[in-house]
């Protein structure tokens, strides 16, 4: 009885190893074939029509009737992240 169990063990181990390899391969293939999640693109204040004034810590730009007008940056200015400072109507 003990010898029957010992001879079946290598065959069973081979099947288990094959099944694990198939699951791993299927997971890798599925991860490469599935579409990646897209991140929404941030709207730049310069292209956002509802933003009337924006700046980056050095320059301030305003959207007026004649178009966009921006201030000149200072000589030792270090720019930061561009952000909307004032929205239309507010």
What is residue 46's predicted lDDT score, i.e. its pLDDT? 83
Query: Average pLDDT over the chain, rounded to whole?
Result: 85
d(CA 81, CA 77): 13
Decide if 87 contacts 53 (C-beta within 8 A). no
Burial class (CB within 10 angstroms; exposed 0-12, middle 13-18, buried 19+) of 19: exposed
Which has the higher per-residue pLDDT, 70 or 32?
70
Question: Could you report the per-residue pLDDT of 47-84, keeping only the tens digit for each?
Answer: 888 999 999 999 999 998 899 999 998 888 999 999 99
Decide if 46 contacts 82 (C-beta within 8 A). yes
Residue 7: pLDDT band (50, 70, 90) is: low
Asked if the model's pLDDT at residue 87 lies above 80, the reply is yes
């Amino acid at each position: 009885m003990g010898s029957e169990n010992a001879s079946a063990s290598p065959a069973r181990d081979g099947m288990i190893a094959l099944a694990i390899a198939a699951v791993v391969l299927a997971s890798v293939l599925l991860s490469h074939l599935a579409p990646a999640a897209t991140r929404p693109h941030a709207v730049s204040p310069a292209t956002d029509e509802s933003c009337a004034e924006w700046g980056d810590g050095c320059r301030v730009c305003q959207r007026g009737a004649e178009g966009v007008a921006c201030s000149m940056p200072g000589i030792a200015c270090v720019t930061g992240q561009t952000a909307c400072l004032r929205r239309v109507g507010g």
